Amino acid sequence: MRALPRWLLLLVLAVGALQLFFLLRIATAASVAPQSTTFQRSEAWRIAREKGRLRWSQDWVPYAQISENLKRAVIASEDDDFVNHEGVEWEAIEKAWQKNAKAQEQAAHRSQLRASARPPKIVGGSTITQQLAKNLLLSGERTMVRKGQEVVLAFMLERLLSKERILEVYLNSVEWGEGVFGAEAAAQHYWRKHASQLTAYEAARLAVMLPRPKYFEKVPGSGYLASRAQTIVARMRTAELP
């Protein structure tokens, strides 16, 4: 029992040191383009391990050289209140927590019936800022603890970076296929053109791919992808840019 306060103190210090590390990384990203993200490195390692080769396509381009069509499409598809919120949409998180709680309850019931039951999938209701926090600094695991850390990092990002910078870093680092990262690499990979040249429909298709980029990369003729892209094109007109 005497050792408990010491261990608690060490835990608090470790958590504090980790938050300071994250804070410094985010502060650096305010003016220096990240060379890579935690997610990119883990994906590159996975591809190299599974396929025996490194696949990593990424070319950083400034905010002004990314088509406004793509900016509007991503905001319309992923986070239509991006310019107004402070990094987190609490209503979306509440709905996600309710869904997660229900999924965990169902998983617990299934585990009683069979030992090989799958763990529940954790969903997040994430904003663009939260997605950037996850990709930039966190692992790909889906747990409640990691979601909590994601929220903390989202607030750090909103305090230290402008909305324009958050969107710039996000669009330059988000995954758009296996080993394909960022708007320029995606535009070249799918449309053989620069990110600045994307049309409204091309940008909308890329935006719709974001939740499942590796899946949609394999099914370019997906009817859902085409119809959803048309919906996003219509919504792009009202998307507000930072």
Q: State pLDDT tens for residues 81-136.
A: 999 999 888 776 666 555 655 545 554 555 555 644 444 444 456 899 999 999 99
CA distance 155 to 225: 32
User: Mean pLDDT over residues 64-86, rounded?
Assistant: 96
Q: State pLDDT tens for residues 158-183.
A: 999 999 999 999 999 999 999 999 99
Domains of the chain from N-terminus onward: 38-85+162-242 (1.10.3810.10)
What pLDDT shows up at residue 140?
Answer: 66
Distance set, CA 153 to CA 21, 65, 133, 136, 144 (Å): 11, 27, 6, 10, 14
pTM for the structure as a whole = 0.84
Is pLDDT above 60 for 185? yes
Q: State pLDDT tens for residues 129-154.
A: 999 999 999 876 677 777 888 999 99
pLDDT above 90 covers a percentage of the chain that reads 60
Residue 68 in 3-state DSSP? helix
Question: Of 148, 94, 102, nearest to 121 (Cα)?
Answer: 102
